[in-house]
Amino acid sequence: MNTTRRDLFKFVGGSVVGALFTPAPWRLVTDTALWSENWPGIPRPARGEIRTKFTHCALCPAGCAVRARCVGDQPVALAGVPGHPLSHGALCAIGLTAHHLPYHPSRLKQGPAGEAAQAVSAAISKCGPAQHAAVLDLRPGRTASWTYRRAMASVKHGLYLAPPSPFGGSVAFDLHQAKTVLSFGAPLLDGWGTPGNVIAARENFRLIQAEPLESRTASLADLWLPIRPGAEEALAQAIANVLADGKPRSPFAAQTGLTEQQITSVAEELAHNGPALVLDGGQIPAVMELNRRLGSLGRTIVARRETPVPESWKKAAPVTNLASVPDGSIRVLLIDESVMDAYLPWSMIERKLVPDDPLVVTFAWSRQGYARHAQYVLPAAVYPEIFDDIPPAIDSVAAVFRIAAPLVEPPAGMVNPSEFIGGLAGLPAADALRQRADAIHQAGRGTLFTCAGAKSVPVKEVKPDDFWKALNEGGCWLDAVDESGAGHRFLWPANADDEKRSSAPPEDLPLVAITCETRAAAAPLSPLMSKLYQESNLRLAANHAALNPATARACGVGEGARAILRTHCGSAQIEVSLDSGVPPGVVKVAAGPGIMDLCGASARAQVVPA
Amino acid sequence: MIARYGMTIDVDRCTGCGACMVACAVENNVPPAHQGANDRKGITWIRVFQVNNGQDYPNRRSAFVPVLCQQCGKDAPCASVCPQQAVEIDPATGIVGQMPERCLGCRYCMAACPYHARYFNWWDPAWPAGMEKTLNPDVAPRMRGVVEKCNFCHGRWHAAIERAAANGRSIQAVDYVPACVEACPTGAIQFGDLNRPESAPARAARNGNSFRLLEKIGTDPKIYYRSTKDWVHRISSAPAPGLGKERSRG
Amino acid sequence: MDKEFIARGVKRCSTPRFLLWILPWLSLLAFGLYSAGLCLVKGLNQTNMDNRFAFGLWIFLDLTVIALGAGAFFTGFLLYILKLKELRAVINSAVVIGLVCYSGAIAVLMVDVGQPLRAWFTFWYPNVHSMLAEVTFCITCYLTVLAIEYLPILLRNRKLREVPSFLVFEHELHKLVYVLAGVGTFLSFFHQGSLGGLYGVLRGRPFAFREGFLVWPSTFFLFIVSAAAVGPSFILLTTWLVEKISRKRLARPAVLELLGRISGLLLAVYVLAKTMDTLIWINRTSPDAGFPAAQYYAWRPFGTWILFAEIVLFGLVPALVMLAPWLRRRTGWLVSAAAMACLGVALNRFVLTVQTLALPTLAFDKFLSYWPSWQETGTFLAVVAYGVLVYSFSFRYLQLFPEERELKAEVRQEKEEELPAMAGRY
Amino acid sequence: MFPWNYGFHGSAASYIFLGAFYAVLTVVATTVIFAVIRSRRDLRAHETEEIRWHSDFHDLPARDRVCRHVLTGELTSRECPHAFDCRQCETHSRLTATHPLQPPGETEEEIFGMSFPLDRLYHRGHAWARPEADGAVTVGLDELASRLVGAPDAVDLPQPGAVVHANGTAFRIHKREADVRVLSPVDGEVTETGGPGRGWYLKVKPLDGQMDVRHLLCGAEIKPWLMREIERLQLALSAEGAAPTLADGGVPVADIARSYPEADWDAVCGEMFLEP
């Protein structure tokens, strides 16, 4: 039989109709959905045994305890540790996303370690009489810091530098003792001290926030005193006057922008609703004077004992305040920015360098920080890879010792700063942490808190190896509070960086730039923080600025406009948004390293259209 | 036992730190922003808004209001409009669920939701190289072109169910909390079963200082906000054009 | 060269001229397809829509175009069901316009959804309570009906007609066309309505939310009436436009007047209903939801003027013009009234789609603005170009206006001693 | 969509909604299928010719569809409901019964200078039929038609043995751009055809004994019909852009086609041969 085309059509048509009565086409139809559910681009989450690890967050001095949910060895979620004596289960947004940091796109992968070592030793040998080879440690008090000090003690012209810190000595603010807290712009509820600890104490004290901007702390304070920018000292003086002779002395009161009545009532509150505590962001002598007057010293401001160190370490270089180093005297500067309490404006550091080709080597996780100014940038491990301890936070009354135990292995090619710097002096730094732990154990004071069971045991009852093991599993040593601390002599803060308060404002810089989000400048941020900085306007993103509409109009910039922010240190591009909550004459600018170099905490500034 | 999961959020305690937002993204495998994204094209299942009393410096007072899916209890605007049942309300929990694998991305539900709690995947989800290792194994990432939203951490709920089943118990509200609740450092967000009188949201529902967003449109939201400040209560009602100028950030 | 495809006794312009005419439209179509392609391949991030402005230009286009396309079903209804024989003169044109509008709308919807591959889900797992499901079902069904209605017109082409089976099929199908007209009417009533319901049911958007009857909000019925009202107007408008462009008489003035009269009548009804609805909404629906209606119009630029324009300027005025015989008789008045009616309905759809989304719902929301990206606009233009092309081809090769030949003779007699006939554009 | 689909809710709403949907689908599908079946049947029954004529007739302008009795003035206005097939028209039979057709006053076969012999019957498509002695019928073009096409460029005649139907195509004529079919006045089998030189005609043998010619014009009907035809011709010519020369009812020249080179001849012929 011969088939015509007609037969063919019949056949095809018939089979199509027939197929409709089989499950095949319907199955196919439903599967296309599943197919489009996971197309090639979309990663499949790895499965595996769920484990829990504990460690401490090294991103800021708070060193909050962290519980990591791991698939196999890979952390997939971080959380606080409920019931922890210091962090009380709290963890901030930066800490919650820290397990992303090892995969940050802008992370450093390798650097010229050997070359840098040679360059350093060469430069040290070139050091003149009044010149130094210095290590700038942006988180002093660590075991690594001791390594640096020991190394610098034996290195020729060695110098160990630390950022200016309040009262030089180890002093703690005891929020739990305070009934009234007056804060001069200290971000008390936005990352100050140990967030969990502050929140735990918050119920018990009344918070008065004196600050030009309505910061997060100000908006949640019991009372917000919207003072003029830079009027902190004046207000402190004025309050001191009231305490001294019942009324504020006129010049100060006028400078603050508050009414005498306001000042008086605050002063009375501090005096009568004690114990009081006065905090500030920088170090203002008047503030400490005020604390002395209010009798806070020894009650809400207490001395904290040092965490024990091995005797053999005591032969170490002294801690030198960066501010007190003569300008142009540092030839070699090694900066450890792998962990950082706060970002110091580069201008502050640069002044100290010798004018003719100084050598700057930095240990960094990315090129965003001081790496921009360094000859050699050595890639350092980043939390949660690092193996480091975190010194006690400013609000922890007792000495503590806790370790940021690595949750993931650092990739190859990372340089360990303490081993590098120790190497300069031929010091083995590898097991410094262990030695310190043993020293603490020998001292036999205090208790050991273990996260797993959330229980504390006296150190005496723990064997050294168990102690060390516990520390590596997120355990935390707490010193016993010592009552003898009351007799501690408090050093008044050195009258640090002066240009901030240089009296007469130059008229070409009509505005005051006040930086916010300063923590974002110091700590590395996970890409996921875009939720806060880009996908919502919850926080002002780096290099974004908010101006009062009137001020913006005066500067000739509008909502969303690109503009240039200029200070005596230079200029940077910013994106402007309007906010009638910002006081006139103020630029509220979000800190990034660039902005910090420009403005520090605050500076005279000018905004011009880009 | 039928549960009606709900939340109470103490606006007076919220510091606007954003921990809930990132914890949510970590838990539910929400990718970081595409560089083209902004606050109107991003994905934030829970989003903290900074609201204020509408006055200028120095009388400006601000508060932080986390807004997530309000889990409407009565004719949820999004559920009835979805042309293909991609929105399903679980009768056992009262949770308004979104099924991305069923969604065709018509975005009708987004137009319908007065709380802007629904988010569209404008881009293919992308993580920096290696970061996909940190994805939560309990939640499947979504593809481009579908709508997603808060589901009270369905993955956690499921895990809790399995735990309960393993222990031979029926699931109780206390058996699990969403990631945002766990992450909130000040404990401003509390989670519970509205059917159990002693649960935090149930108590909040009875509390005089509590309010819900746009109660009058009759969707019976299960998120109760709490504040002692009168001006904060104003955010529960319709917008007032008088304060049409900058009323919020976030 | 394509003479044997053109109906006997009608003048169409030379092929090169025709090509010259379609060339710009073709290029526009090409550009539009490119931008639509971008949206499909790279995703909807190519548009300026966002989470808050989830609907944009495209949905506005769909609603408007489908309202204008309503002429197809309504004329069919009047001709085949109510037996208004005069309308035979425009029914073919109406069907083509309907086909163009609906197919265009569906094409755009396919680009508008994030996962076009899953479009069939709506049929697979329909949520019968969703207005959008209703719309999808009705529109697709009605598009099929329109395609079938288009067949006879196509098969009547002079060349195709010579194929016996085509001839016979056309003949038989045409006998049954009233059935299709009936079905089409049924479907159209529902999808025009459910398009209105689309926004009327949004209780989360008190600006759009309306109470109604049974499952349907009042906008459901308003849309039906407004579409039925504006459909004839649009046919009137296009007929007039084609007459101008092709420089021919295509339909008797009486027919256009009839269309105008019907349009005017329904428009009047619509304006009345719309006014009542608005009053109820201002005084009850909206306040009950806690939204004082006044605040909607306090957000610039959408002041009360938009309400006035929608109801009075582009509603009542054209209605009155088209209802007044002495004005209707003047083509200028009639046509501009029709145009205004179309604008009015377009404005109504704009308000419902764009203003609804622009207005804030939460106390701390901002008033949003939105401007379509070039990809969105391109896709929009593609639909326009596609429409013009399909219509141009249909007009050239098919008999959209059966009376054209007779009218030609009449015209000829009228201007016996005028200058020789000008060749038409087509 | 189907009860066995996941997520199908058996609510009343679903049944109403889907019921309506499937009803619509059914109606539409049935309609189309119905049309297909019927057209297949028509094709099988060779009704193509008839259908073609019907749809042509349907397309004719109203003034061309008037009843023959309107031409003669018996009726004031009537549109032919039978597509010019009076054999099935009871009005026609009634009228012819009441007052039978008058024989023409005087036996003049010249109308407007064209010869319309009374020995034959005329179809409104300008073909005549002449009963022959042998019972067959000769079919040819009438004077007006032949002047219209003059000397045709080509004519396709059916083969002997082919069957023609009344109002079906008798033969096709090509002249200039015009390509028209001439409607056959009668049914029958073609026995013999003319050709170049011998004139264009068909000899048709009735299929069943005698020939029914009630639908053809004869005698006194011819003149009024022809007058109207000439009007139509004028109209057509003027519409197709020819100068109006017949306005005074003058005699059409022998070869009209040649004398109106500018006219769209296809349209004119289509008009006159009732092929829109």
pLDDT digits (tens, 9 = 90+) for A542-573: 889 999 999 999 999 999 999 999 998 889 99
> From CA D267, how far away is CA D183, in angstroms rounded?
16
Residues of chain A with C-beta less than 8 angstroms from the C-beta of C117: 32, 36
Per DSSP, the residues of chain B read: ----EEEEEETTT-----HHHHHHHHHTTPPPPPTT--TTTS--SSEEEEEE-SPPTTT--EEEEEE-----SSS-HHHHH-TTS-EEE-TTT--EEE-GGG-----HHHHH-TT--EEE--S-----TTGGGG--TTSPPPPTT-EEE--S-HHHHHHHHHHHHHTT----GGG---HHHHH-TT--EEEEETTSTTSHHHHHHH-TTEE-TTGGGS---SEEEE-S-HHHHGGGS---GGG-S--EE-
| pLDDT of amino acid A162 | 92
**Set of chain B residues whose Cβ sits within 8 Å of the Cβ of C63:** none
Which string of b and e fits B85-108 if b means at least 16 CB within 10 Å?
A: bbbbeeeebbbbbbbbbbbbbbbb
Q: How confident is the model at residue A38 (pLDDT cuts 50, 70, 90)?
A: low
- Residues 347-366 of chain C with CB under 8 A from chain B are 356-357, 360-366
- Note the pLDDT of residue C37: 96
Contact residues for C153 (Cβ-Cβ < 8 A; gap 6+): C92, C95, C96, C394, C398, C399, C400
How many beta carbons lie within 10 A of that of residue A481, not counting itself? 15
Beta bridge partners of D31: none
Contact A114, A316 (CB under 8 A): no
Q: Which residues of A touch C115 (CB under 8 A)?
A: 36
Q: What pLDDT is stored for residue B232 in this prediction?
A: 94
Q: How confident is the model at residue B77 (pLDDT cuts 50, 70, 90)?
A: very high
Q: What is the mean pLDDT of each run of 10 residues along chain C (426 residues)?
A: 81 91 96 96 94 94 93 90 91 95 94 89 89 93 94 91 91 91 91 92 93 88 95 95 91 93 96 96 94 89 91 95 93 95 96 94 91 95 96 94 82 55 39
Say yes or no for a CB contact (<8 Å) between C364 and B49.
Answer: yes
In C, which residues are within 8 Å of D264 by CB distance? 9
C-alpha distance from C149 to closest chain D C-alpha (Å): 10
C-alpha to C-alpha distance for A346 and A335, rounded to whole angstroms = 12
**The listed CATH number (1.10.3470, 3.40.50, 2.20.110, 1.10.246) that belongs to domain A113-167+306-482:** 3.40.50
Distance from CA of A167 to the nearest CA of B (A): 29
| Contact (CB<8Å) C117/A29 | no
pLDDT band of B229, cuts 50, 70, 90? very high
Indicate the pLDDT class of residue A168, thresholds 50, 70 and 90: low
C140 touches chain B (CB under 8 A): no
Contact call for C125 and D266, based on CB within 8 A:
no
Q: pLDDT grade, residue A491 (50/70/90)? A: low
Other C-beta atoms lying within 10 Å of the C-beta of residue A159 = 22
Q: Which residues of D176-222 form beta strands (DSSP E)?
A: 178-183, 188-195, 199-205
From the list B102, B111, B217, the residue facing C290 with the nearest CB is B217
Nearest to A566 by CA among A539, A518, A603: A603
Percent share of chain D, pLDDT over 90: 9
Give the best residue of A531, A534, A577, A588 to mutate against chain B (max B CB count within 10 A): A531
Banded model confidence at residue D102, pLDDT cuts 50, 70, 90: low
Q: Which residue in the set A97, A105, A581 is minimally distant from B57, CB to CB? A: A581
Q: Give the C window 219-278 contacts with B, CB below 8 Å.
A: none
Residue D271, pLDDT above cutoff 90: no
Predicted pLDDT at B231: 93
- The average pLDDT across B1-5 equals 84
Q: Which amino acid does the sequence have at A148?
A: Y
Q: Which residue of D has its CA nearest to C406?
A: D61
Query: Is there a contact between D244 and C416 if contact means CB atoms under 8 Å apart?
Result: yes
Identify the structural domains of chain B with CATH numbers, from first to last. Answer: 5-243 (3.30.70.20)
For C118, the closest chain A residue by CA position comes to A33
Give the best-scoring range by mean pLDDT among A477-491, B215-229, C393-407: B215-229
Ranges C52-61, D137-146, D164-173, most confident: C52-61
Distance from C-alpha of C123 to C-alpha of C223, rounded to nearest angstrom: 24
Instruction: Based on DSSP, count helices (H) and strands (E) in chain A, helices before strands.
Output: 19, 26
Query: Which residues in chain D are contacts of C416 at CB distance < 8 A?
Result: 238, 244
The answer to whether the CB atoms of A32 and C117 lie below 8 A apart is yes
Residue numbers in A near B27 (CB within 8 A): 77
Q: Which residues of A touch C120 (CB under 8 A)?
A: 29
- Chain D interface includes C257 (CB < 8 A): no
Mean pLDDT of chain A: 89
B/C interface, count of CB pairs below 8 Å: 189
Percentage with pLDDT > 70 across chain A: 93
- Compare CB distances from C180 to D31, D238, D276 and report the shortest one's residue: D31
Q: Which residue has the higher pLDDT, C45 or B165?
A: C45
Mutating which of A209, A258, A366, A530 best tests the B interface, going by the most B Cβ atoms within 10 A? A530
Mapped onto helix, strand or coil, the DSSP state of residue A366 is strand
Average pLDDT over residues B187-193: 94
Q: What is the pLDDT of residues B92-116, one digit of tens each?
A: 899 999 998 889 999 999 999 999 9
Q: Do A37 and B101 touch (CB under 8 A)?
A: yes
State the burial class of residue C31 (Cβ atoms within 10 Å of its Cβ: 0-12, 13-18, 19+).
middle
The tokens for A459 are 């150190």
pTM: 0.90
What residue of A is the nearest CA neighbor of C115?
A36
Residue D75 is predicted with a pLDDT of: 84
Contact residues on chain C for D177, CB-CB shorter than 8 A: 3
Beta strands in A30-120 (DSSP E): 50-56, 65-71, 74-80
CB contact under 8 A, A36 and B143: yes
Going across the sheet that includes A50-56, the strands are A50-56, A65-71, A74-80
Tell me what pLDDT residue A499 has. 44
Residues of B in contact with A528 (CB under 8 A): 22, 25-26, 30, 32
- Which of A326-335, A568-577, D91-100 has the weakest average pLDDT? D91-100
* Domain ranges in chain A with CATH number 3.40.228.10: 171-303
> What domains lie within chain C, and their CATH numbers?
12-401 (1.20.1630.10)
C-alpha span between C159 and C396 (Å, rounded): 13
CA angle B31, B34, B37 (to 5 degrees): 115
Lowest mean pLDDT across B4-18, C162-176, D261-275: D261-275
A79 touches chain B (CB under 8 A): yes
- CB pair distance less than 8 Å for D267 and C165: no
If contacts are CB pairs under 8 Å, which of residues 93-132 in chain C contact chain A? 115, 117-118, 120-121, 124
In Å, how far is C317's CA from the nearest CA of chain D?
A: 38
Quote the CA–CA distance of C47 and A21 in Å, as a whole number.
Answer: 42
Over residues A170-226, the pLDDT tens digits come to: 788 999 999 999 999 999 999 899 999 999 999 999 999 999 999 999 999 999 999
Chain D residues within 8 A of C134 when measuring between CB atoms: 17
What is the nearest CA distance from A102 to chain B, expressed in angstroms?
A: 8
Contacts of A33 in chain C (CB under 8 A): 118, 121
User: Tokens 């404006």 correspond to what residue?
Assistant: A345
Mean pLDDT of chain B: 90
Q: What is the pLDDT of residue A37?
A: 65
With b for 16 or more beta-carbon neighbours within 10 A and e for fewer, the B218-227 pattern comes to ebebbbbbbb
Domain D49-272 falls under CATH 2.40.50.100: yes
Tell me the CATH class for A500-609: mainly beta
Average pLDDT over residues A377-385: 94
Chain D residues within an 8 Å CB radius of C186: 24
* C187 contacts D17? CB cut-off 8 A: no
Candidate ranges A478-487, A494-503, C187-196; pick with highest mean pLDDT: C187-196
C367 interfacial to chain B (CB closer than 8 Å): yes
Instruction: Tell me the domain boundaries of chain D.
Output: 12-45, 49-272
Residue A315 pLDDT greater than 70, yes or no:
yes
With a pLDDT cut of 90, the percent of chain A lying above it is 64
Which residue from B83, B144, B218 is facing C132, i.e. has the nearest CB? B83
Q: What is the pLDDT of residue D78?
A: 86
Distance from CA of C108 to the nearest CA of D (A): 23
Contact D31 C421 (CB under 8 A): no
What fold does the segment set A171-303 form as a domain?
A: Dimethylsulfoxide Reductase; domain 2 (3.40.228)
pLDDT for residue A498: 46
Q: Pick B27 or D238 by higher pLDDT.
A: B27
Chains that touch D (3 or more CB pairs under 8 A): C
Task: List A residues 234-273 in contact with B (Cβ-Cβ < 8 A).
Answer: none
Selected residues 486-515 of chain A with any CB under 8 Å from a CB in chain B:
none
Nearest C-alpha of chain A: how many angstroms from B22?
6
Amino acid at position B184, single letter: C
Question: Strand, coil or helix: what is D259?
Answer: helix
pLDDT value of residue D33: 94
Cβ separation B33–A531 shorter than 8 A: yes
Q: How far is CA D257 from CA A321, A342, A513, B31, C88, in A?
A: 116, 104, 96, 81, 34
Average pLDDT over residues B74-85: 92
Of A245, A277, A246, A272, which is closest to residue A261 (Cα–Cα)? Answer: A246
**Higher pLDDT, residue D102 or A392:** A392
Chain C interface, mutation test: which of B53, B61, B85, most C Cβ atoms within 10 Å? B85
**pLDDT above 60 (res B48):** yes
Against chain B, the chains showing at least 3 CB pairs within 8 Å are A, C
